[in-house]
Structure 1
Amino acid sequence: MEKQILEHCKKHGNEEAGGIIKAGFFTPLENVATDKKDFFEFELDDWKGVEAIVHSHPDSNQFLSPMDRKMQINTGLEWQIVHDDKIHKYPCVPLLRGREFEYGKSDCGTLIEDAFSLMGINLGRARRGDMQKDADAGIIIKRLKKVGFKQVKEIQSGDVIVTSSQEEGNHLALFVDDTTVLHHAFNQLSRRIPYNYIIRKRTHSIWRHKNFKPEMIQAVLNDLEASNL
């Protein structure tokens, strides 16, 4: 199936191409967009059994665009992007901004996991217990080490900040750029906030994933833009 997808997209050159995966098989669909170089649109009457949406980004990158993310949320399906003769798979996760807090299901940890999945790095899902007991056991730091993060001194976009209200690190935030971070605090909606004095003062440590590349932060920026569409 992978070979079929790559060959189908390749024969369309600089135009976006794709289709659907259903019952384990790839079905090509005609791109009916007016601008086929920058958009992929198709007509489908029966969505029953569709497992994933596939389309190519010949002149862009491997990440879901803001419109891709918006449409992915509408479909609730995995989306696959073909770029540079590779297929990049993105499970459907909620938009990073505006999530309601529920420990173990929608918290600072799941926000980081989902942000990295959009960047193409699969961290899996951490198992949670009681919030206070987990904090006392220092599972945040243990988890970061386990899934490929290493502690660094100088911060850059894509790094994970561990903050603390006491001595032990008990909260995670994603450093988006020099002025903002993305985080999900207790009993609040997940949101993008200024990288201010309070966060700097409470910073326990800074962590960088071994597979992270600077261009990957674009996937997060695209998701944040999708929140406004």
Structure 2
Amino acid sequence: MQQATIAAINVHAESEYPRECCGLVVVLKGREKYIPCRNAAAGTEHFILPAEDYAEAELLGDITAVVHSHPDVPAAPSQADRVACEASGLVWHIVRVDQVDGIPVAGETATLEPVGYVAPLVGRTFSHGVLDCYQLIVDWYKQERNITLRQFPRADDWWNDGKSDLYTDGFPQAGFVAVEDGVQPEVGDVILMQIRSNNGVPNHAGIYIGDGLILHHLYGRLSSRDIYGGYFQEVTRAILHFKG
């Protein structure tokens, strides 16, 4: 990147601290320009770049890179960064911002390029909308059965907004149908669970992988294989079979 672009990124990253900043690098009439975007995410630990901001940047020129900041942590890409970079097909730049004598100061910058990275099914870190329980099911179906499931936009904490029933509504659109009560799950079946949902709806999903085990990704934890019994059976609300 050109020095003027780096300087503009640093100013934006410092101004957004302690939240992550996000933006886009575009080439406009042969010149590189940084376009600051809004971070639509709640909290300070990740970013969501609104689709409308991306569309507006596309009208200005060719988008060449995605930019965001890492407040108080190294600029090294997280698993979620690597997965999202692959999905975007663009170069990513990550800038670290630390508080020095009470003032946010931008520091090191790391650059990430799409190289075909795929997050492991077990042990992946949680990032809602990027590496969460639904994405784990999407990735399992792609790796194990070469089936591409439909993606859905999903706001963090949707299960507590007083109205949403995303999984009940969404899984049928992705090709799943409910099995009858009492039927034992088959490998590949999705198990819908309700875990601390103010909406009173299923908000967690795992996939049955045989031998009494489920593969799932609980909020804030690493993805794991666990015995399907006890608590997980108690909170089960439906078992779904993929019909396509």
TM-score, normalised via structure 1 length:
0.50
TM-score, normalised via structure 2 length:
0.47
Is the strand fraction higher in 1 or 2? 2
